[in-house]
Structure 1
Amino acid sequence: MVGRLIKTRVIVLLLLVIVPLLSIFTFTSPVLAAPVVLINPGSGATGTTVTIQGNNFDSYIGDYVTITFDTMQIPTSPLQIPATGSFATEFTVPETASVGRHWITVFSTGGTVTMLARNFFIVDETLITLDVSEGPVGSEVNVSGQGFYSNRIVSLYYYHGINSVKIGDIVASSTGHFSYDFNVPNSNGGSHKIAVLNDKGNQAEAYFQVIPVILINLSAAGSGQLLAMTGTGFGYRGLVDISIGNHPITTVRTNEFGDFEVVFTIPSIHPGIYEIKAIDEYSFQAKVNFTVTATVGISHTSGPIGLTVTLTGSGFTPKTPVNIDYDGIFIAEVTTDNFGGFITSFNIPVSTGGNHQITVSDGTFTEQYTFTVESDPPTLPRLTIPVKDSATKAMAYLDWQDADDPSQPVVYQLQIASDQNFSTVVIDKPGLANSEYSLNFDEALPASGTGTTYYWRVRATDVAGNESEWSESWSFIVNPPQTPTLVQPELDTIVEIPVFFNWQDVTSLSPPVSYHLQISTDLSFSAIVFEVIGLSDSEYYLSEEEHLSETGEDTPYYWRVKSTDYVQNESKWSDPKIFYIQNGFTFPAWAIYTLIGIAAVLVGYLAYWIGRRGTKKPPE
């Protein structure tokens, strides 16, 4: 008995050890994952194309399955499970589908019909939302919508009472969504319906509250000035009362859209901040803050230097001095009258072209205005004298036409250069008050050779600093005096002391002309024996004190002359001539020629007389 008990225990222990070990070496079949259905997109409007993705259908490879949308089988059902165990198919959500959740279910078809997997699709509610629900006419509003038939045009309408205006069309997305921006059209104050619909019968609406608003063209102005006001969002063809502070201004009537426009004069009230209010008979109202200032009327806001400007002020402190500054510089003072008004005038002072600030202040109220000085350059000066390419004197006189400009006076800058590009300017005269200029002695232009060419130009600058372009450049010529022509002593003549030298007069555009006489014993004039400078006449007697030695046939004298004008421009030396000096009495050349002529007459007469005697017959 005891032995059997022990044997039984041993067997049990062995089983407890062996069975777990056997389970380690036992091969078991894998457990397959359950089929699933994925839906994309998971929600949308009717007409949305939905993709159905089936996974983990390995146990049904080769079998046919049916797919339903709620109780309705989709067009591509039934379908066969491919070797991959996965499938994909599409269908369109029918337009009869109601808002809310709809089940998409996959069923087996062999033997007993079994639901294998399912998922749901949500049909969106048809609705629209506005990003802002109230505002004035012209507000930008975004309308976003959902639940409209996929990929169909939706039209948007804005209602004005029972009438509507189409504000746009847009195509809904593949899931029936859209977003559209528009500006609120002219309409009365109050609630306005915005409706959206398509040709599938989808429609939704929302409401926008139009609030009245007024706009003015100025935020501040003085009494007596005109103020323009526009209003929108008021009642239909209603009367609107307009006031500033406690001061009624005017009454206007709106149009069918609740709009109005009006221009009115700011009443005579004390400067300060006021509330301008507009309220109509339907109790629509709007208001805006406005500052009534001390004001100044200015007769001109632009013009030239020297223009007379009249200032008319109101709203200032009564019987108080008012200072007027131009660019911070005091130019006038006037005292206000019992009502705080004044009138005064001043001339625009010298200042540059462009904007300048006029400040009017009584110490309590200050007004500033911009005055624009004209910035147009003067007209281009036109050159007149010297005439183009003409000859003129060294102390040239230059003249040009006056430049025209409203900002007088105009000054000129004259330039004379030795080259056409004006890279070498020899005369530069800015700030000339007159349209002409004569060069003085120190500015006289040098001349050499056959004449020197100069170029000149002018530009104008008005008192506002506006500068014209340079005028056209003209050329003129400055000639040196002519080279004298020697007359006496003639070439190779013998003269006696006192020697008389004579040459032709020289003319010049720069008179008077003086002469320089030289006498030398050599042709190169390196041995000058006599020289005289600054002769005013074209002749010279060599005095006894200045006598020259007697010369031989091989040792003549040479003489030459050059001329010099008033500004010291010199001619070339004349061609030299030779003469000889012989002491004692000699007939001058003119006497010798006279005697020769007399002798010739006597010889001719004698020959005639002898001839007559030879031809006379003897008496018979």
Structure 2
Amino acid sequence: MKLFKILSVAGMVFFLCLLVKTDYSVIAQKEREILILPSEGTIGDTIRVVGKGFNKSTGDFEAYAAIILSSEEATTDDDIDSDVTVYEFVAEGVLLNENGEFDISFELPAELNDGADKETVHVGTYYVYVCHYVINVLAPRISAVAEFDVILGNITIEPDRGTVGTSVKIIGTDFFSNEEIAINYDEMDLDIDSGDTKTDSSGEFTAYVIIPKSNAGIHHVAVIQLGNELVAEFFVEPDVTINPTSGESGTQVTVLGTGFSRRENVVIYFGASEVAEIPTDRVGDFVATFSVPELTAGLYKIEIDDGENIQTAKFTIISPPELPSLEPPIMPAVIEINRLAGSVGAEIVVSGTGFVKDGTVTIEYDNEVVASTNTDARGIFMASFNIPISAHGGHVMKISDDLNTKELTFTVESEAPSKPDLLVAGPLVAEQDTDILLDWEDVMDDSMPVTYELQLASNDSFSAESILLEEKGLTDSEYLMDSSKIKFLRPRSSYYWRVRAVDSAANAGEWAETVEIKIAAVTTMPGWLIYALILLGGLFIFFIWYRFRQAEKRSNQKEPRSQGK
């Protein structure tokens, strides 16, 4: 009877298992579908998930499912945890109605933390998985899959076309919140002139940049955040400046052009006459000069054509005085320069018209001659030089010949170099007869070369009275503190050192982290003293042994006498 009951129970359990297994297989074969609304979004967006064809709830049974977000691609033949290890439960215990449907929403998370492997959500394709619960336990088998694209956000630029030097406003929305942004122009770093350098708590920013020298046409402005980027287009339009804008026939006119086609010949027309032809450089810039043709007084159009782009300007020819002078008119000296601010080493190109013909022009920087060149038969010259080592701030450039002198102010950049990264960790322990190598990474800067300033002090506040050693103008990114310096430091004491970078524009960066140096106690003694102590110890042991032997002999001599008595 007992055996019969056991077999009956076992058979019932086996039968129930078959029922459960068969029911689950039938459910798995049903057509399941999930819809993601919208199909793309960014961190913090509300995402709606609509599903149908899943397990049905009945009056006696409630069916549940879980919604899972993952960066790993899988199919309905795969399992959570074994095949998908990076994921986040975005909805758990989702009730399935009597038709096997559900409609829920979740907020797109910034991290996937529920799986064995953790990951920060980034731009790209993600996968939404649905898994059933079986008897209140989540079944790992994936029941349905849908894709969702995480996007970075949106940017607009205002304006989206203009000349070189245009200030452009960049507005970003739906970016990652409270994160740094960087801006590239044709894959080159572009400084943010003003505005935000990171997003706010809503993932928004407004930044302003200046369009750099570049040739005519479409260029790409990219906003980069956490390795992801969004790109907008900016169309560079050519621009010309003429100097002067009026004068008599024969006047020398300088034409400065920016944003034309790259390395193309530019033809300049004055009215209907071709007066000059010159090639542009790699960024579409050029400097050209011509003489105003012999025409009657009036307003004339100057046309600048590179084959693809045409720009125009106006020039007014004025009548000569009634009594012409026997001497040719002296035109005022005019200077053009490619930049008036930059770093040490920046290339400066200076051109001029109206100087002494066939003369010599000298360019001085802070009263030091940095370039010298000759003018041509029309009094025109062009020269270039590199900004020498000089402190940040304004510096006077003087351009002069035997008759004309022009002064300009060049401003050297004042951005400090970054602080050095140390290659030695503290605290350092040293004895007085050893050397210590203090080492750090090289620092790069716009105003090269960079030198280093190092200090050693008796306390970590580096007050003036505590500084024991100060080295300036170090050219190597290391410093050997040899024993000749260390021997003057007190044993069993702590000292502190720090270093900072100083660029060629005298901009001093932040101090690197302070490192402690501990001077060990003196444990050695002179060799002669050691030998002397050993000798004294040996003599002392010999003395004790000798006294002991004398006492033993006297004792032995007394014993026979006492026996004889």
What TM-score, normalized to structure 2? 0.38
Larger Rg: 1
What TM-score, normalized to structure 1? 0.35
